Structure formats: structure tokens, C-alpha cells
Structure 1
């Protein structure tokens, strides 16, 4: 079934996608405290990554791990927004979905920490 909300393609689709992406980042900064905290951490640690890296691969690995945390946080926030649209009442399956999203954020933070420790100690 074709969705009337899907664009047909072309350059205008790319511009619309970019506009929606920027809009999503603005919404995350405005409304998601965890995203703001992780964004500040990424902004502070990016120059550190460039300073401590011995080569381009290490820099990409360190900065990539920070971006990965932000990506997972955005997905978790999107999941929570959809869940809260369905109901704000306690529901075991919605609670499970939110807990799984939170676990994904925790694992991404753990992975980023391990990468940073590994590069620093190497």
C-alpha cells in the first residue's frame, strides 16, 4: 500500500529529508535532557579525541563511538515518544519497550567507554 506521506523522490526529497533531520535534532536538543547531556559530552570529547589520537583511524573510532551514543539516544527518544503517544498509563509491553531502549543506550555508552579506554591505554 502506498503512503500519501511518502515523497516521490528526486532532489526535493533530499531537501525535505535534510529539513526533517535538522528538525529532529532541534527537537531532541529542546526536549530530551539525556540527548543534551550526551551532546555536550560529544562536543567536549571531540577535540580531545583529535588530540589523543595517534592516527586517523583512532580519531574516527573515538568520534564515531560518540556519534553512535547520540544515534541510539535519538532512537530511544523516538521509541519513547511513540509509546507515550499510545498511552501514558502503565502498560507492561510499553514498559518493556522503554526498558529495552534504555538498555540500548547503556550498551552504547559502555561500548564508547571501552573504545576510549582501549585507545587511551594502547
Structure 2
């Protein structure tokens, strides 16, 4: 934590070491997401299955972009949802109506992104599976 405070204090100075530290922190966050969040592990397994299906069906370049964008959107939504939950639980450990609403709305964001990913999957894979 002290390193982040020190980086902020230095302001806009560019440091390659700070970039590597930021990358390490982000990878640590990805690890936390996979280890601690059950739904993230489900998203991971589904993403692997979708990528394998893409290889089997021979997706075009544009179709791959659509699939990768949908996967990234779901992962981003899950990460933001999880981070909001961690912050809310730290700030207000007891049950609070507004915290519950915030968590529900963040979870809705994940649901919306997952629904979009399903639509992309149907759009991309049904023609290939029919062939």
C-alpha cells in the first residue's frame, strides 16, 4: 500500500517500475477474482468452451472480434461488480438497504453483459453449427 501512496506523491513522473507494479497489482486482482468469486470461475469455464467452439467452427476475423469483445465485456462487468461488493462490505459491514440496491444494480450489469454475450454467441455460432 505504501508503494501506491509513493507513486501518487511523485505525480506525473513516468517510471517503468511503476508500470510493472501496476501490472502486478492488476494480475493480483485477476487472481483474486478467479479464486474468490464463484461466478468468475463460471465465466472462465464458459469462455474457454466458447473459444474452443470458435476454433472448431472456424470463425471469421470479425466473428472472433465479436466473441472476444463479448468475453471481455462480461469479465469487466464481473470485475466491477466484485470490486463494488468488496468496497461496500468494507464501508458498511451491516445490512443496509442502499448498499443492497447498489449490489443488485451492479449484479444487473453482469447479467446484461452476459445476456449480450449469449446473443453474440447465437449470432456467431448458429450459422456455423448449421453448416
Same fold by TM-score greater than 0.5: yes
Q: Select the residue among 54, 61, 69 that pairs with 1:64.
A: 69
C-alpha separation in 2, matches of 1:53 and 1:86:
48
Moved over 4 A (4+): none
* Alignment coverage as a number of residue pairs: 120
Tell me, yes or no, if the aligned pair for 1:66 and 1:112 is still in contact at 8 Å: yes
Give the number of the structure whose alpha-carbon radius of gyration is greater: 2
Q: Which residue of 1 aligns with 2:81?
A: 76
SS of the residue corresponding to residue 48 of structure 1 reads helix
Runs of at least 5 residues in structure 1 that lack an aligned partner in the other structure = none
Question: RMSD across aligned C-alpha pairs, in angstroms?
Answer: 1.8
Runs of at least 5 residues in structure 2 that lack an aligned partner in the other structure = none
TM-score, structure 2 as length reference: 0.82
C-alpha separation in 2, matches of 1:121 and 1:109:
18
Question: Any idea what the Cα deviations from partners look like across 1:10-55, whole Å, max 9, x if unmatched?
Answer: 2112101110011001111111111111111112211212332441
Matches within 5 A, 1:1-122: 4-5=5-6, 6=8, 8-122=13-127
Tell me, yes or no, if the aligned pair for 1:65 and 1:112 is still in contact at 8 Å: yes
Question: Any idea what the Cα deviations from partners look like across 1:50-98, whole Å, max 9, x if unmatched?
Answer: 3324411101211221121111101100000000001221212111110
TM-score, structure 1 as length reference: 0.88
Query: Which deviates the most, 85-94 or 75-84?
Result: 85-94
